[in-house]
Amino acid sequence: MTTRLSAAALGALPPTVAQPAYDRAAVKTGVVHLGVGAFHRAHQAVVFDDALAAGDLRWGVLGASLRSPGVRDQLNPQDGLYSVVVRDGDRRDVRIIGAIQSVLVAPEDPAALVAAMAHGDVHMVTLTVTEKGYRLDPASGALMIDDPDVAADLSDLSAPRTAPGFVTAALAARRAAGLPPFTVVSCDNVPHNGARIRQAVLDMAGRVDPDLRDWIDTHGAFPQTMVDRIVPATTPDDVAANEALLGVTDQGMVKTEPFTQWVIEDRFAGPRPDFDSLGVQITADVAPWEDAKLRLLNGAHSAIAYLGGLAGLTYVDQVVAIPSYARFVEALWDEAESTLTPPPGLDVPTYRGELMRRFANSALQHRTVQIAMDGSQKLPQRLLAACAARLENDQPIDALALAVAGWMRWQDGVDDAGNAFTVDDPLAADTARRVKGAAGPAAKVAALLDLSAVFPPALAADARFAKAVTDAHLSLVERGARGAVEAFAESLPKS
């Protein structure tokens, strides 16, 4: 059996593999991260590792899984070490990250996680728990007090079950100990992420202890952020290839692209790393960066996922390699770009060119089905907001509507070749019921537009929107996804 990656194995790694040069034994735990998945390990943990490498040893990370022990079982036997494999065409750069010291599994010992978060060395709690993890009602934005786990936290915060519960319990413990609050930094790819976790925590604290709520409101900090790095799911083949290079097995490896970006609102409750020197952008207003990323990168990603996946295309690079799909993506960007107010420092044409190069990176093998997950929660900010903005200015939404129709067609759970797949989405049962009960494509569109958790009522009631999406959906039914995209591309003005 091949040896596992560990501190003891570092000395035997090939010299081309970068590894921690700082004293890991001297590192303090300054960050607790909730939801220690692949994205965190390829993004924020790398930044904290850079801070440690620069000599600031306050920024070690304690990872926490709120559900399964999978990541704990990958990393703890490896002393928290893992590889970040940066792939770009034939290029493969491997770096060992040492920032994560260990991983806890929250359900196994919730009190231990709360105690760790309440420790005086901790200055930041970061999160990647997906939009579902905030336990906010999609319609009202308020804490879902009828959610069983939320209800359990509200009745007894000594053993939290939810991300807002853990943050609230830890902040309560810090207040009781006379410690200042930590900064809560959401790194989820959702709009207004800082405001969302703040809302969830304040709602919970207010129901448990109004004085605690006031203390958090006065002294706490929940900055908005924008995060960007493509991190495809790791496959067994990736692990095997990495093992052949390292000479040891790394069960916690992640693969990613060269590009990385982190923009954080300048709002902190206490110490922070020297983010500016680490390549992180600190700004007074994250919203313009967030809108550009959501509507250009993420909007195109969702369109590629549905319209490519329905056509039987497995990877993003396969989709954009087809000229008609590439033209469609550019048209989608033309529409979305008109709704943006770019921040200083963002050159949109250059950004678009970089995005297309990133999409075309065949080494990543970024699966369309992975991007298609949880579409009902992604659609509003990625596509629908741009639709509403365009219609407000009486502008056409042909490309955006085709992308929205792609999501609707995806809810059938069958691709154009008749192959069934699982619709991995919190609202999958509801969307399946709606499309099954509808007589014909137009009725399916109407049934889905009535889904207020996804479609804002004003947009759903707009006849221009309904017609554009219905026409696009009919094209998908009649021509298949690839045929519909080709027909769309043919309709565009010749450049």
Weakest mean pLDDT among 130-134, 182-186, 256-260, 316-320 = 130-134
Domain that holds residue 467: 287-491
* pLDDT band with cut points at 50, 70 and 90 for residue 189: confident
Same domain flag for 279 and 302: no
* Domain-located, residue 1: no
Report the residue count for the chain. Answer: 495
Provide the whole-model pTM: 0.89
Query: Torsion angle of alpha carbons 290, 41, 168, 154, nearest 10°?
Result: 100
The model's pLDDT over 137-168, given as tens digits with 9 standing for 90+, comes to 877 889 999 999 999 999 999 999 999 999 99
Domain boundary among 262, 283, 304: 283
| Whether residue 292 sits in one domain with residue 272 | no
Neighbours of 245 (CB within 10 A): 16
- The reply to whether 119 and 237 lie within a common domain is yes
**Does the residue 361 lie in any domain?**
yes
* CA 86 remoteness from chain centre: 18
Sorting pLDDT into bands at 50, 70 and 90, what band is 134? very high
Residue 341, in any domain of the structure: yes
Give the CATH number for residue 208. Answer: 3.40.50.720
Distances (CA, A) of 336 to 348, 386, 405: 11, 6, 16
Percentage of residues in the chain with pLDDT exceeding 90?
Answer: 94
The mean of the pLDDT values for the chain is 96
Whether 66 and 133 have beta carbons less than 8 Å apart is answered as yes
Query: What are φ and ψ of residue 431, in 5° steps?
Result: -65, -35
Q: What angle do CA 52, 230, 335 make, to 5 degrees?
A: 130
Give the pLDDT confidence score for residue 90 in this predicted structure: 87
269 and 322: one domain?
no
Going by pLDDT thresholds of 50, 70 and 90, the confidence category of residue 345 is confident
**Residue 89 is assigned to a structural domain of this protein:** yes
Is residue 376 included in any domain, yes or no? yes
Look up residue 408 and give its two tokens. 């609707």
The reply to whether 433 and 299 lie within a common domain is yes
Q: Is the pLDDT of residue 495 over 90?
A: no
**Residue 324: partners with Cβ closer than 8 Å, 6 or more residues away:** 482, 485, 486, 488, 489, 490
What confidence tier does 62 reach under pLDDT thresholds 50, 70, 90?
A: very high
**Domain co-membership, 454 together with 378:** yes
Per-residue model confidence (pLDDT) at position 344 = 86
| 170/316 same-domain check | no
- In this structure, are 315 and 269 located in the same domain? no
Burial of 398 (0-12, 13-18, 19+ CB in 10 A): middle
Q: Are 407 and 444 in contact (CB under 8 A)?
A: no
Mean pLDDT, range 403-420, rounded to an integer: 97
Kindly state whether residues 86 and 185 are assigned to the same domain. yes
Q: Show which of 283, 315, 349 is a domain's final residue.
A: 283
Kindly report which listed range (58-62, 89-93, 108-112) carries the lowest average pLDDT score: 89-93
Q: Is residue 2 part of a domain?
A: no
CA dist 296 and 333 (Å) reads: 6
Residue 184 and residue 236 in one domain: yes
Distance CA 477, CA 114 (A): 51
Average pLDDT rounded to a whole number, residues 381-385: 96
- In this prediction, residue 1 carries a pLDDT of 60
How does pLDDT run across 3-60, given as a tens digit for each residue?
999 999 999 999 999 999 999 999 999 999 999 999 999 999 999 999 999 999 999 9
Looking at residues 473-492, what average pLDDT do you find?
Answer: 97
User: What's the number of domains the chain is made of?
Assistant: 2
The CATH number assigned to the domain holding 372 equals: 1.10.1040.10
The model's pLDDT over 201-246, given as tens digits with 9 standing for 90+, comes to 999 999 999 999 999 999 999 999 999 999 999 999 999 999 999 9
The pLDDT confidence band at residue 368, using thresholds 50, 70 and 90, is: very high
pLDDT score at 140? 85
**Whole-angstrom distance, CA of residue 140 vs CA of residue 155:** 22
Residues 431, 317 share a domain = yes
Position 2 confidence tier, pLDDT thresholds 50, 70, 90: confident
Instruction: Indicate the residue among 283, 317, 348 that finishes a domain.
Output: 283
Distance of alpha carbon 141 from alpha carbon 391, whole angstroms: 25
Look at residue 440 and tell me whether its pLDDT is greater than 90.
Answer: no
Closest listed residue to residue 212, CA positions, set 221, 223, 201, 222: 201
Shared domain check, 136 and 109: yes
Q: Mean of the pLDDT values across residues 336-364?
A: 95
Share of the chain above pLDDT 70, in %: 100
* Cα(384)–Cα(376) distance, integer angstroms: 11
Strand order in the sheet with 91-97: 91-97, 82-88, 254-256
Residue 415, pLDDT > 70, answer yes
Question: Could you tell me if residue 206 is inside a domain?
Answer: yes
Q: Is residue 66 part of a domain?
A: yes
Distance CA(287)–CA(285), nearest Å, equals 6
